[in-house]
Structure 1
Amino acid sequence: MRRRSNAAGTTGARRGAGGVHRKRHSIPALLLGTLGAGWVSCSTETSTETSTDFEVVETTITEVQAAIRDGTTTCRAVVERHLARIAAYEDLINAITVLNPRALERADALDAALAAGEATGPLFCVPMLVKDNFDTHDMVTTGGSIALADNLPPDDAFMVRKIREAGAIVVAKTNMAEWAFSPRQSVSSSFDTTRNAYALDRVPAGSSGGTASGVAAGFGVIGLGSDTGNSIRGPSSHLALVGIRSTIGLTSRDGVIPLSFDRDIAGPMGRTVEDVARVFDVVAGYDASDPYTEAGRERVEEDYTAFLEADGLRGARLGVLRALVDPEETDDEILALFEAAIDDLRQLGAEVVDPFEFDVEAELQREGMFCRRFRYDMWVYLQSLGPGAPMTDVLEVLEDGRYSDYAQASLRRNQGAPLDVHPSSWDDPCPDYPENEGRQAYLGNLVRAMDLERLDAAIYPSWLCVPAPIDRGDEDYCGDNSQRVAPATGMPAITVPMGYTYGALPAGLQILARPYDEGLLFRLAYGFEQGTRHRRPPDGFPEIR
């Protein structure tokens, strides 16, 4: 891997200022990946007919691996079925950017290794989706921007390398909000608009909406997303998924196109708590290329799946953070689901403290809660691409019009920031997270408040409003709870499905814990998941026969 001291497809026509590059691919063209400068088709190797009746809708990592090992299916057949689902359903949601042209070749190699009795990794033959801001050496990485339409990084992001070493197969990259700017929806100038698999006229939230909608629709068993303020937990909530934002310092961001390096987190988004824990086992840990992980070097658990207990809520003491349950902003049906979730938590053995009093808004008013370091962090990232980098300064796109309308304001807000000076050395310094007095005070005050109440964790709805109509994604944006605690404090949080509003619109329960308590989060989320079983697949994406 190339060393980074900080931040961690398709070939489309350039566009004029203000417009959006529209993805015009037919379904056969979707079955493409990039190698070097050319397209390589894998569509001729993919069919809806496979040699197995193994069903992949809502399948899990454990089920896939067991079926391959007992001869029910093969790795190649599993990958073919996922590619067939993309071919059949991608036009509905526009979640996929490019396919891996060597996915079936990799599947064949894994089948051969298994037949030869060779050791298999913990993610053996897990078809995975990866957000378009993770570097992949064999597929373009655009970060949602047409300006990076030809960006083929020299190597894989840390997490991509880890999942591949563990035996996973990256079947496709997924669409995202341009430069990860929007928590509202997932619209890029490189691949256009992703829809919510549960309601095609609704947003999947942003910015990891492509991973969320793709995993929910069964295009992959699980996926990777990134979360600066909301972007794992928000889309996971909108798509009835489990998504975790880890403690800052426990996971590497190396090779992930940055939005704000002192807040960025990358990690798994899946249909079950167990699957998310299995991938987290692989991707968590120290990385010399990400200096933040030095702090968490000795804090990684040996096995996060060891925390998965069906009665994991028994004896837990949970605080209802009513500061994040504003009755005037909360949709009535989400509020009803949340109150029902509290009842479920009690019935499953938890002690619930309601309310848990803490002034979130006062903490958010502290100095230094956020600094505009996107330009600097992108400068570091672009340097890491080497001499083939498409530009040296991300703000060059303002000169040539390679951006969509909604991204312009966010780009211009960074014009006054220095290009190549670390934020801690600015005239008005913005220290990194460990030295940021305001953020550390927020963290300390919240942990002390939890200590006083003897809480294991705090709970609140992941989103207070239902997914907005896709044609009013900005105007109807409201209720995004995920931005208000975890990103500033650096604390870990997980969202788990808590039911559906208006029949089909998912909602999530968020659980927040102290730093490095990811094991506890997995235990609590697993207990809730197993006790309620809210997850169900979206309509309109049946098994391919």
Structure 2
Amino acid sequence: MTYHGSVLKKSGALLLAGAVIATTWGETVPLASAATATPSSKTTVATVSAGKAPVTATAFVQAMEEAATLAGVPFSMDKLSGTTVQRKDAALALQTWLKLESTPESFKDVPDQASFAGAVGALNTAGLMKGYTDSLFLPNGVLTQNDVAILKDRIYNYIKPFVLEEATITDLQAAMTQGKLTSKELVQKYLDRIEKYDDQGVSINAVLTLNPEALKIAETLDEERAAQGPRGPLHGIPVLVKDNFDTNDMPTTAGCICLKDSVPAHDAEQVKKLKAAGAIILGKTNLHEFAFGITTSSSLGGQTLNPYALDHYPGGSSGGTGAAIASNFAAAGMGTDTGGSIRIPSSFNSLVGIRPTIGLSSREGIIPLALTQDVGGPMARTVSDAAIMLDATAGYDKNDVATAYAVGKIPSSYTDFLDISGLKGARIGVATELIPSTKAEEKAVADVINNAVEELKSLGATAVPISIPNLAEINKYPSLSGYEFKFQLNDYLDSLGEDAPYHSLSEIIASGQFDKSQEQSMKTRDARETLETTEYKDIVLKRTQVTRESLLKVMADNNLDAIIYPTSTQAAGVIGEGQNSGGNNRLSPFSGFPAITVPAGFTTDGLPVGMEFLGRAFDEGTLIKLAYSYEQGTHHRQAPKLTP
């Protein structure tokens, strides 16, 4: 195996965590501080790190052999002279073994003409041996036991063969940077999995359309990477989007036969942002037709299956994205959420799903269900991947006035909130009323969530039982999809211009080209004549006000960072027997506040359960911090065994 290039750079990274520089007068300074110190004749490098003794040459070679054996790759390294190992000698030995190309370096203490200069540059570039400071490599420094332990781990991660299943976006970028993988090869790997598990075999039936240009786009992005480096973390990364996001190179159908040939002239704003970040839109996923329900069946795509239990629903309406990402058909995906359509399928497929604050991300180019509640957001296997996707898709759009509210409220990167200790000192409100256990199906979920509360405590959080004010009143309000859909769909069809296959909901109903099980719902919506009614305006104004004020009050009264509850009060239902998710998912869309669901475990029947964190407007960063800490402290996510 040949390696070239460099791994993702971490500014100011050091070889060691916890190493120290010792001064001649006995003071010890952490390297993190010493990195900014001015070198002087009074400073020397300690030969011990974190209290560990220097390692022998034999032990160093043995450690590298163990890393190679663990990774399953060949190992060959000449015996090193001397009893201990200097950093320059380690760099030369590793360069030879890993066949790394010599690379220029800029350390003040490494002469350009030195025999080890190219090796130092190569190891530094590869992220395997960084400098002790930005300007000093200390080539004569002696490796300690702690040094070698960290180096062994880095070498293992560098040389281990690439494994597609459950690979994170960061894993994929590292593999492409190290030369183990190209974007074109990655696209083909995902296409192969879709063919193996979606089109045949267990036939998950999650993907509606594949991008015929995906391989060509990947090849172009590979060329761009080679010429000028990656645009960012999504460069060359294949993603799947729910088929109600407009794409100008594939049909956008909402799962309906009536729109099977409708190719919009423009990408949805979030799709446009993903492409600009270097992501590849690998294809479009099935959804509950027009996003009406939570079981994900459509006249165009049929019934999508749950990869954890093929006779169960995948959730909805973004169930195609949920089942596909859970099955490793792409790195991550996009869904939409009007009532719970990102979070429910994320919960049912052991995924992380983010419903952003209304206004954080543009809805332009998404086939609407109810714009008062609609959002688009990421669905991923990890919190970090979801944060990367949110970074790419959030932001102002002049064509969606709601995004003006987010100006000045979006951090430089949501990945800055990925704090493994994020739950320490946090105060989490436990909405006990939202954890029902009357029915057997509810108890199975309640058991998982109650255990998750104990896990939150063990990770440093204070769990505060709360009662949400006015909850009964909030739950009496309906979703606005029954009010707004007709008018906003007609506007969307009008935006398609003369090429629109139909120009109104009435025409679609008259055509008969839709899922007949939704006929009555469509006719009821079509019969609504106007939104200029007191009933509608009261819902828009009073429902929003009472929900926001109730949530803000209970959070302020209890000094809470977030509120948690089960994403769905029941796990995935058996296909044909109906699906109930409860009303927990309403709090986020009724208030406009953000929510993130994260895997909390599995029922005794092996069905995934999600726990939802709800926060204040535009406080996605805090939710990501809390969810990441919980995820890293528990690691509940498991890949479905049916799509190995």
User: How many Å separate the matches in 1 of 2:299 and 2:211?
Assistant: 21
Q: How does 1:34-433 map to 2 (within 5 A)?
A: 54-90=162-198, 91=200, 92-183=203-294, 185-329=295-439, 331-365=442-476, 372-418=483-529, 423=531, 426-428=532-534, 430-431=536-537
Aligned to 1:448: 553
Code of the residue aligned with 1:519 in structure 2: it is: G
Equivalent residue letter for 1:536 = Q
Contact 1:323-1:359 at 8 Å conserved across structures: no
Correspondence for 1:538: 640
Contact 1:461 1:481 in 2 (8 A): no
Deviation at 1:284, TM superposition (A): 0.7
Paired with 1:367 and 1:216, the residues of 2 have a C-alpha distance of 31
Measure, in 2, the Cα distance between the counterparts of 1:58 and 1:176. 23
CA distance in 2, matches of 1:58, 1:539: 12
Relative contact order: is structure 1 or structure 2 higher (C-alpha 8 Å, sep ≥ 6)? Answer: 1
Distance 1:466 1:441 in 2: 29
Tell me, yes or no, if structure 1 residue 520 matches structure 2 residue 633.
no
Aligned residue in 1 for 2:562 = 457
SS of corresponding position for 1:402:
coil
8 Å CA contact retained: 2:317, 2:341: yes
For the residues of structure 2 that align with 1:282 and 1:432, how far apart are their CA atoms? 35
Greater shift in the superposed pair: 205-214 or 395-404: 395-404
CA offsets, 1:464-497, max 9 Å, x none?
112111122x2xx223344321111111110000
1:72-114 residue CA offsets vs partner (Å, 9 max, x unmatched): 1111111110000001111321001010011000111111111
Q: CA RMSD in A?
A: 1.8
State how far apart, in whole Å, the 1-side matches of 2:549 and 2:450 are.
28
Report the CA distance between 1:448 and its aligned residue. Answer: 1.2
Partner of 1:489 in structure 2? 591
Structure number with bigger Rg:
2
Equivalent residue number for residue 129 of structure 2: none
The equivalent residue for 1:466 is 571
Name the CA distance, whole Å, in 2 between partners of 1:482 and 1:80. 39
1:500 maps onto 2:608 in alignment? no
1:289-333: CA deviation from partner (whole Å, max 9, x where unpaired): 111111222211211110110011011101111221122145222
SS at match of 1:176: coil
Q: Across the two proteins, how many residue pairs are aligned to each other?
A: 481
TM-score when scaled to structure 2? 0.72
Q: How far apart are residue 356 of structure 1 and its match?
A: 3.7
CA drift of 1:512 comes to 0.5
One-letter amino acid of the counterpart of residue 83, structure 1: L
Secondary structure of 1:494's match? strand
Whether the 8 Å CA contact 2:333–2:379 is kept in 1: the answer is yes
* Letter matched to residue 111 of structure 1: D
User: In the alignment, is the contact (CA less than 8 A) between 1:368 and 1:436 conserved in 2?
Assistant: no
Task: Return 314-323 or 222-231, whichever deviates more.
Answer: 314-323
Offset, 1:179? 0.6
Counterpart amino acid of 1:264? D
Q: Relative to 1, partners in 2 of residues 1:392 and 1:123: Cα closer, same or farther, differing over 3 Å?
A: same
Q: Give the superposition deviation at 1:404.
A: 1.5
Aligned equivalents of 1:66 and 1:285: distance in 2? 27
Report the alpha carbon displacement of residue 394 of structure 1 after superposing the two structures with TM.
1.6
Offset at residue 191 of structure 1 (A): 1.2
- In 1: Cα distance, 2:617 partner to 2:586 partner: 16
1-structure distance, mates of 2:302, 2:444 = 31
- Counterpart residue identity of residue 391, structure 1: Y
What is the SS of the residue equivalent to 1:479? Answer: coil
1:439 aligns with 2:544: yes
Cα pair distance change 1:56/1:354, threshold 3 Å: same
SS of residue paired to 1:269:
strand
Give the match's secondary structure for 1:373.
helix
Structure 2: which 5+ runs fail to align? Answer: 1-159
Counterpart of 1:76, as a letter, is: K
Letter in structure 2 aligned against 1:513: G
Which amino acid in structure 2 is aligned with residue 349 of structure 1? G
Counterpart code for 1:150:
D
Question: AA paired with 1:196?
Answer: N
DSSP 3-state at the match of 1:471? coil
Secondary structure in 1 aligned to 2:613? strand
Match of 1:41 in 2: none
CA separation of 1:530/1:247 partners in 2, compared to 1, >3 Å: closer, same or farther? same
In structure 2, distance between residues paired with 1:367 and 1:138: 36
**Gaps in structure 1 of 5+ consecutive residues:** 1-51
Task: Spell out structure 1 runs of 4+ moving beyond 6 A.
Answer: 367-370
